[in-house]
Amino acid sequence: MTTQNLLVELFVEELPPKALNKLGAAFSGVLAEQLKAQGLAAADAVVTAFASPRRLAAHVRGVLAQAADKAVQQKLMPVAVGLDAAGNATPALLKKLQALGADVSDPAAAVAALKRAPDGKADALFYDSVVKGATLAAGLQKALDEALAKLPIPKVMQYQLETDCELPGWSSVNFVRPAHSLIALHGSTVVPVKALGLTAGNSTQGHRFEAKVSPVVLPHADQYDDVLKRDGSVIASFAERRAEIVRQLNAAAAEVGNGARPIEDEALLDEVTALVERPNVLTCQFETEFLDVPQECLILTMKANQKYFPLIDASGKLTNRFLVVSNITPDDASFVIGGNERVVRPRLADAKFFFDQDRKKTLESRVEGLSKVVYHNKLGTQGERMARVCAIAKAIGQQVGGDALAQQAEQAARLAKTDLLTDMVGEFPELQGIMGGYYARHDGQSTEVAEAIEDHYKPRFAGDELPRNNVGLVVALADKLETLVGMFGIGNVPTGDKDPFALRRHALGVIRMLIEKDVALGLPELLALSTPVFGDKISGNADALIDFIYDRLSGSLREQGFSAQEVDAVMALRPARLGQVNQFLSAVRAFAALPESPALAAANKRIGNILKKAGEVDAHVNTALLQEDAEKNLYAVMQKLLPESEAQFKAGDYTASLQTLAALRAPVDAFFDDVMVNAEEMDLRLNRQGLLKSLHVAMNRVADLSRLAA
């Protein structure tokens, strides 16, 4: 059967820019999926998505005008129900066949055409028929309806359409934005489908200001992209438009010279791509006096408020040039450039005003104001929270760095939240911490304290950098631990995909800092330091919190490429010091690769089951009670290998510690072959259990090796 390529476009008013790319992918994806499901397109049909501010479109290759007929076998009913004792059709069977469109004028012939086959314990009757393949008009209508219904629309709006009938009236339509036209072209033929009160045709609208013709008529589905560019001045492909913006941004930055480059921001690039139909990058500038303001403030106001691309120099410092992605290409761009420069100037002036005003008050003078800001109705004010973070930071600092670190950490924690009360952070909450660092330096605080204030929110997200110095590390740990302990203590535990206090992110931040900075404190110890500062504000939920953190750690390790078995083996022992976890995992991986590993893992599992049933067992061996050669030999080998393995473990050579134990395979196998552990004589039984207990302790210092057993 011959095929043609299909083009479907929905032309609408301006779509939400932050959702545009997802809307385009969803529209084309569901549309093609439905066509494939109906046999109108091959399973490997190439699908191209288009998405611009005012249109969603999909191009599907190799679409049939009608799907192939399909042979269908349908179960009717058990033979005992469909046929009487003489083998004639029952009324129930005839009624069922008639409903399916079968010819029942000759009941005997109708029965003869049926098939019998086992179905469970009894035979059943089956009816073979051929289902006519879906026509493209019907199939595309279904696919289009499904694609529109499944769009991930952020918020639906309702608008009215005038009804097409003799009596005037209006009908309501619910969609993300009002729709104005619909294209459905199979090759050069219009497919008569409808959607959102629109009937499909072959014309659309081009660029709002620069289209060469209106409407833009498409002669063929394969000419969509080219005709829109030529006649409509629109680049319909989101990916192509984005690439063109990147090209123009880099070209404009190169013209500025001095190593200038546009700020890297993928989200901003996506949003701007969703705002223009044919991009035109222009270079603008602002007064150099604004560069006295911290560049983070200027960059944020240009990106967030105006969707501009600031230019930074080769050293990473902000320049007074910025790039604008315009949606028009006038012969004289000076008016567009001047307009954007006039718009940005008041924004930068506001930032400078906030910065100047904020520096008139020290961070220390703002501390008292934290007591007037509510943090949580069950956990008190920001002032109370600050006091708790101070106490935790001081305790951690004392443990890992003595008095000096404890004093600096306490000071940084005391000031860390004060920038929440500044005008700049009030206007740009994203700058909290960053502005605190600037203001701390202005107040004469030490570099360590200023950097700690700036860094104490880190890591903010996956892959973010960690605090630069030990003071920042301690305060960041204290801040996240206070949040975790407090929220779990009042029962605010994440459920499903709901995590309003970002506790999963806080837990992963704690994990990263403890592992990557190899903090010499165990996780239980840190939680024990953090809990008393809450007094009676929280109830005990420490077990749930520690389970939560270890669960996050297990998931993180699996994402890093460690197998579920390796992770389970290490995490079963709940290693207190997280900085050792990666070494444990490497040791387990090396051990698992040894030929002795499967047998020892199985033996370890068997030993664990024996000891579990035995209850409390003392890891003590009386050599006088060793009777069998196999148990004497095992004990002798243990006397040689276990001290060696323990010394390697204490020296931090966990791989060698486990590999030393590999030599136990033969004596352990012989022990289980020749020795009855649960002997009738109580003293022999306890002694053999003690021997196994000693072995079990030695084998499970690094990980629970039984978790490696198949």
Tell me if residue 154 falls in helix, strand or coil: coil
For a pLDDT cut of 70, what percent of the chain falls above it?
98
Mean pLDDT across the stretch 490-500? 88
d(CA 662, CA 659): 5
Provide mean pLDDT across the span 611-629.
Answer: 87
Token pair belonging to 513: 């800092």
- Mean predicted confidence (pLDDT) in 42-64: 96
φ, ψ of residue 198 in degrees (nearest 5): -110, 150
Name which of 452-461, 610-619, 657-666 the model is least confident about: 610-619
State the DSSP code for 234. -
Q: How far apart (Å, rounded) are the C-alpha atoms in residues 649 and 643?
A: 10
Judge whether 207 and 198 are in contact, CB under 8 Å: no
The residue with greater pLDDT, 121 or 588, is: 588
CA distances (Å), origin 78, targets 90, 117, 121, 542:
12, 10, 10, 60
Evaluate if residue 559 carries a pLDDT over 90.
yes
Model confidence band, residue 319 (pLDDT cutoffs 50, 70, 90): very high
What is the percentage of the chain residues whose pLDDT exceeds 90? Answer: 75
Q: Tell how strand 318-326 and strand 309-312 pair up.
A: antiparallel
Residue 169 pLDDT: 56
Distance of alpha carbon 592 from its chain centroid, rounded?
Answer: 31
pLDDT tier, 399 (very low <50, low <70, confident <90, very high otherwise):
very high
Cα–Cα distance for residue pair 223/655, rounded to 1 Å: 63
Task: Locate 393 and state its tokens.
Answer: 């930071």
pLDDT digits (tens, 9 = 90+) for 170-226: 678 889 899 999 999 999 999 999 999 999 999 999 999 999 999 999 999 999 999
> pLDDT of 436-448, one tens digit each?
999 999 999 999 9
Phi, psi of 364 (to 5 degrees): -60, -40
- pLDDT of 1 over the 70 cut: no
Taking residues 625-651, report their average pLDDT.
Answer: 92
Q: How far is residue 559's CA from residue 544's CA, in Å, rounded to a whole number?
A: 23
Using DSSP, state whether 14 is helix, strand or coil.
coil
Q: What is the mean pLDDT of residues 665-679?
A: 90
Query: pLDDT digit string (tens) for 450-484?
Result: 999 999 999 999 889 999 999 999 999 999 999 99
- What is residue 620's predicted lDDT score, i.e. its pLDDT? 86
> Which stretches does DSSP call E strand in 176-258?
179-186, 189-190, 194-195, 198-199, 203-204, 216-217
Count of beta carbons in the 10 Å neighbourhood of residue 697: 12
At 496, the pLDDT band (50, 70, 90 cuts) reads confident
Pick the CATH number of 582-708 from 1.20.120, 2.40.50, 1.10.730, 1.25.40: 1.10.730
Q: Which helix (H) or strand (E) holds 10?
A: strand 3-12
Query: 């604004």: which residue's tokens?
Result: 290
- Of 54-68, 107-121, 237-251, 586-600, give the lowest mean pLDDT range: 107-121
Q: What's the confidence (pLDDT) of residue 612?
A: 87
Give the helix/strand (H/E) hosting 530: helix 523-530
Residue 167 is predicted with a pLDDT of 46
CA atoms of 287 and 321, how far apart (whole Å): 9
pLDDT tens digits, 151-177: 998 788 888 876 554 445 567 888 989
Cα atoms in the 13 Å half-sphere on the side-chain side of 247: 8
Mean pLDDT, the chain, whole residue set: 92
Q: What pLDDT sits at residue 112?
A: 86
Residue 360: its pLDDT value, please?
A: 97
Residue length of the chain? 710
CATH code reported for the domain at 381-561: 1.10.3210
Domain range list for the chain: 3-67+135-231, 70-131, 238-359, 381-561, 582-708
Give the model's pLDDT for residue 327: 96
- Tens-place pLDDT, residues 127-154: 888 778 889 999 999 999 999 999 998 7
**What number of other Cβ atoms are within 10 A of residue 416's Cβ?**
31
59 pairs with which residues across the strands? 7, 48
Work out the average pLDDT over 100-121: 84
